[in-house]
Chain A
Amino acid sequence: MFSFRDATIKKKLTWMSALASASALLLAGSSFFAYHLVTYRSALVRNLVIQADTIGLNSVPSLRFDDKKSATETLSALRADPNIIAAAVYSADGNLFASYAGNGGNGQAIARVVPPGRSDAIRFDGRRLRLLHAIVAEGEQLGTVDVSYSLNDLYADAARYAAIAAVVLLISLGAALLASSRIQRSFSEPIARLAAAAGAISHEKDYSVRVEPTRNRDELGVLIGTFNEMLAQIQVRDAEVEAGKARFQGLNEELEARVLRRTAELEATNKELEAFTYSVSHDLRAPLRRIDGFAKLLVDDYGPQLPADAARYLSRVREGARQMGTLVDDLLNLARLGRQELKQQVTGLSSIVEHVTTGLKREIEDREIEWKIQPLPFIECDPGLMGVVFTNLLSNAVKYTRPRQHAVIEVGTVEQNGHPVVFVRDNGVGFSMKYADKLFGVFQRLHRAEDFEGTGVGLATVDRILRKHGGAIWAEAELDKGACFYFTVGSTPTDGPGSRSTQGGTLNAAQAS
């Protein structure tokens, strides 16, 4: 269905100009016509009244002397006006006194009796106008003049007038349409071009399209100019974006290539490291075993023949070999940790601690140790590695409480920034916080080997495991009072003593207890 709203601008403009010109013409024509009709009619009436008055005056003597003949003659003077269909003079009592039938008229128009009236009566009656006019002389009504006037001429005039108006209307409508189509071309064509260009751009993303400019410097001309300018800007920007994209892609490819190269290098390094670890573990252990083995054979087979010093030296040799063996093993474990993938699962720390303490208790049956183990949380971690963490921390606690008659080892949690922090506390020999920063370094020891055996790898291993989990470890201690190790697994609390730094830590319950 046709809808004006969806019509093209061209059609709308055509309709608008047609409507405007037609309505202007109709309004002008009809008001002119109406004015004309009114003035014509009032002129007609005035004219008719004058004629009726003239007839009335001329008929006064005839009525006085009852001279019907002269009255008829007077009436016949109306012949001069062909539009007068009929006329009559009535006596004062209203009876027909004289009559006249005009061209084309007949006696029917004449009434036999007309009631006397002092004033004029005008009646438009279809195609004729009838006027009744009183004949008055010296204040006395002597009779009435009756004139009927044909309006045929008037109607014919009106018809001609309407015909001319219609022709003028049609011609001017045609002219208006023609003119509007000329004028509107300067609107609608640029708009159509703009619309086509916009469509092409939005469909094909071709910003090189330009709208052909108009010669006019009107708003449309400005619009097209601005539109083209905008397109030029978009084209430039588009080109920049494309270039940027290409550059970005290039960079990306380069980066990817670099990552691949680095990965390959890293893999090669890893392989080398693995090979190194493998041969270290094999090649370093073998000579150590020989040193110890043959020293032992020497002691076994020739012990009795050896001087006391020689036997003592041999035992030193064996001790050295064994110690180095432990060191190699610890180092290898630490190195393996670096390559090992975390196998995380939700694990109850309590069961790990229980497992570790059970193993430890078997080794130290002669010691008096009070274990205070609080319930521990379930967390996401590698249970095997978490076992290594607790084994190291708890065997350290056992080791460094050795001089204590009554050793107390505590495991529990405290809350820090909403995260659980696990602690392992002992009342052992502790250490000076001065050296706290060395605590987690490889081969770093805070105690002399003859006091407490050890390789200095254990806490470094623990630190590495926890960092691999995204956690952290720190410690607080006081010399000869005890030590407390705190650690988190997973996300580390962001502030507070949760940082890796152990320096300047405040003394807390570890020392107070």
Chain B
Amino acid sequence: MPHKQVEILLVEDNPDDAELAVQALRRDKLANEIAIARDGEEALDFIFCRGPHANRSFESPPRLVLLDLKLPKVNGLDVLKAIKGDPRTKAIPVVIMTSSREERDLVEGYRLGSNAYVQKPIDFDQFRKVVKALGMFWLVINEPPPPQTFEAN
């Protein structure tokens, strides 16, 4: 069955947080197709079209990955490293969206090729503003990479 292109892959282990993020995105009608990965391994399976996601293709990557750092199994920075270290996936915009604002995470995140780093505000109104701004920029304003960008060479 042909599937719609996933617009956002949300990598978030906590279902509550995932739901809040989805709610924030839906309420501003920014993304229709949101996939959720509950740990690092699932995120990598999704991105690299393997395991339960073997039927996906590299030609239709998610338009944005919202990546939490503290994740079960494979942590967020390792997920980032895998995505940015592979020519088939490195053009996918990845935004780190996490609770903490640790200097070493910022440094390591940007070194590994993160496209942005956002700290989740506690205040839900603020959080909604942040998510809205992210969606606006990456899904509306930003010109996405053309398909050939993702071809392995």
Contact = CB atoms under 8 A, between A and B. Distances in A.
Interface in B95-132: 98-103, 120-125, 127
Interface stretch (B14-22, B37-45, B49-57, B77-85): B14-22
Interface stretch (A192-200, A289-297, A455-463): A289-297
Given A292-B122, A296-B124, A322-B122, 8 more contacts: A282-B70, A282-B98, A282-B99, A282-B100, A285-B120, A293-B127, A294-B20, A336-B103
A281 B99 contact: yes
Contact of B17 (A286, A297, A325): A286
Given A278-B100, A286-B17, A290-B16, A322 B123 contact: yes
B23 interface: yes
15 contacts: A281-B102, A282-B98, A286-B17, A288-B122, A289-B17, A289-B121, A289-B124, A290-B14, A293-B20, A293-B127, A294-B16, A294-B20, A318-B124, A322-B123, A325-B123
A321 interface: yes
B61 to A, nearest CB: 28
Nearest to B103: A336
A293 B124 contact: yes
B124 A286 contact: no
Among the interface residues B100, B101, B124, which one has the most CB atoms of the partner chain A within 10 A? B124
Contacts of A297: 20, 23, 124
A289 B21 CA distance: 11
Interface residues of A, number: 21
A286 B20 contact: no
A282 B101 CA distance: 9
A297 B19 CA distance: 11
Contacts of B100: 278, 281-282, 285
Interface residues of B, number: 20
A325 B17 CA distance: 16
Contact of A286 (B14, B101, B123, B125): B14
B99 A292 contact: no
B119 to A, nearest CB: 9
A396 to B, nearest CB: 23
Interface string A280-311: 01110110111011111100100000000000
Q: Which 3 A-B pairs have the closest CB atoms?
A: A325-B122, A296-B124, A293-B20
B134 to A, nearest CB: 16
Interface in A314-338: 318, 321-322, 325, 336
Contacts of B20: 289-290, 293-294, 297
Nearest to A322: B123
Contacts of A336: 103
A289 B98 CA distance: 12
B125 A296 contact: yes
B31 to A, nearest CB: 18
Contact of B124 (A281, A285, A292): A292
Contact of A289 (B23, B27, B102, B122): B122
A285 B125 contact: no
A288 to B, nearest CB: 5
B24 to A, nearest CB: 8
A296 B123 CA distance: 9
B120 A289 contact: yes
Contacts of A325: 122-123
B8 to A, nearest CB: 18
Contacts of A318: 123-124
B23 A321 contact: no
A126 to B, nearest CB: 127
B20 to A, nearest CB: 4
B129 to A, nearest CB: 12
A83 to B, nearest CB: 135
B105 to A, nearest CB: 9
Nearest to B125: A296
B18 to A, nearest CB: 11
Interface string B122-150: 11110100000000000000000000000
A505 B16 CA distance: 53
A14 to B, nearest CB: 89
B127 A286 contact: no
Given A290-B16, A290-B20, A294-B20, A285 B123 contact: no
B122 A321 contact: yes
Most A-side CB within 10 Å, residue of B14, B16, B122, B124: B122
A444 to B, nearest CB: 24
Contacts of B127: 289, 293
Nearest to A325: B122
A409 B27 CA distance: 44
B79 to A, nearest CB: 16
